[in-house]
């Protein structure tokens, strides 16, 4: 599991499109703090397809940082 609070710039010159996988998102309260939890699950042919591949937690600071990236990337208001 990873708690993300900030994002650094990523060079995207060698990024390729990835296969679509299932993702689930929810809200969690841990020690009085609120987090968004995002879990991704493996490809259908994987040995344990129902086991989460990655888990990311965002606190308010991390959520604001991600929202800023999304707004700039997709011209969202």
Tell me the C-alpha distance between 75 and 33, whole Å: 30
- What pLDDT score was predicted for residue 77? 86
Q: Count how many residues are written for the chain.
A: 77
The answer as to whether 3 is a domain residue is: no
Range of the domain at 65: 22-77
Domain count, the chain: 1
Give the torsion through C-alpha atoms of 2, 40, 48, 46, to 10 deg.
-120
Number of other CB atoms surrounding residue 20 within 10 Å? 7
- What pLDDT score was predicted for residue 8? 93
Q: Report mean pLDDT in 10-residue bins for the chain, 77 residues.
A: 92 83 96 97 84 96 97 94
Q: pLDDT over 90 for what percent of the chain?
A: 68
The answer as to whether 47 is a domain residue is: yes
pTM of the model: 0.84
- What pLDDT score was predicted for residue 47? 86
The answer as to whether 16 is a domain residue is: no
Structure tokens at 24: 């689930």
């Amino acid at each position: 599991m990873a708690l993300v609070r900030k994002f650094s710039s990523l060079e995207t010159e060698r990024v390729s499109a990835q296969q679509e996988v299932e993702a689930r998102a929810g809200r969690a309260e841990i020690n009085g703090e609120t987090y968004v939890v995002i879990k991704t699950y493996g490809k259908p042919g994987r040995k344990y397809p129902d086991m989460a591949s990655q888990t990311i937690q965002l606190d308010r600071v991390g959520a604001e940082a991600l929202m800023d990236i999304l707004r700039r990337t997709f011209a969202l208001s």
